[in-house]
Structure 1
Amino acid sequence: MASIKVHVKKDDMVKIIAGKERGKTGKVLRVFPAKGRVVVENLNVVKRHTRPNQLNPEGGIVEKEAAISMSNVMLICGSCNEATRTGVKTLEDGSKTRYCKKCNASVDK
């Protein structure tokens, strides 16, 4: 599978724009660029049946977050507090930064 352009990073706040969790927001926990997927905190929770092991001696049913396609999330801008598209600017010192296309403010901290 071809890798997808990564527009979100770990610890970004994102809004889900498609699927059963549409309209909800959360923080990105993990990014899988090769698969084009992200894991968002407390969203897309699935139940896994686990066998007993040392960490979980009883085993049983464990709830955990599953990955969501990166195309189904939009970054939330810190200054205008809306889900927005992002672009990449090259600064004077040669470093790159992401910016909000609505308010033109930098998204990176």
Structure 2
Amino acid sequence: MRIKTHVKKGDQVQVVAGNQKGKQGTVLEVNAEKGQVIVEGAKVIKKAIRKSEQNPDGGIIEQDGPIAISNVKKI
């Protein structure tokens, strides 16, 4: 079953609540079941990754984190 949301992948949105309030960006991913969206550049988090073939050094990478879907509006 599909859950209807007011934003979809590729939409331009603005964050209207939370620590990232006022930031704008493009929606990279929508997870309707969890009620979350990932907005490019809005909530950058640091994540520790272990060594692997793709990343032989391991270390800390920065990636976009999820924001509650109710905290974004389409522009």
Normalising by structure 1, report the TM-score: 0.65
Equivalent-residue separation in structure 2 for 1:5 and 1:72 (angstroms): 16
Give the 5 Å matches for 1:35-50. 35-50=34-49
Q: Structure 1: which 5+ runs fail to align? A: 77-109
Partner of 2:19, secondary structure, is coil
Partner of 1:18, secondary structure, is coil
Deviations 1:43-102 (A, max 9, x none): 1111001101111110000100111000000000xxxxxxxxxxxxxxxxxxxxxxxxxx
Cα distance, 1:17 vs. partner?
0.4
Q: Does 1:52 align with 2:60?
A: no
Q: Does 1:64 align with 2:73?
A: no
> Once superposed, what is the RMSD of the aligned Cα atoms?
1.4
- What code does the residue aligned with 1:31 have? V
Question: Runs (4+) of structure 1 moved beyond 2 Å?
Answer: none
Normalising by structure 2, report the TM-score: 0.93
Cα distance, 1:5 vs. partner?
4.4
- The residue number in structure 2 matching 1:32 is 31
Contact 1:4 1:35 in 2 (8 A): no
Q: Percent identity at matched positions?
A: 47
Count of residue pairs brought into register by the alignment: 74
Cα distance, 1:23 vs. partner?
0.5
Cα distance, 1:31 vs. partner?
0.2
Partner of 1:22, secondary structure, is coil
Deviations 1:8-66 (A, max 9, x none): 00000000001111001000000001001000001111100110111111000010011
Contact 1:46 1:64 in 2 (8 A): yes
- What code does the residue aligned with 2:38 have? V
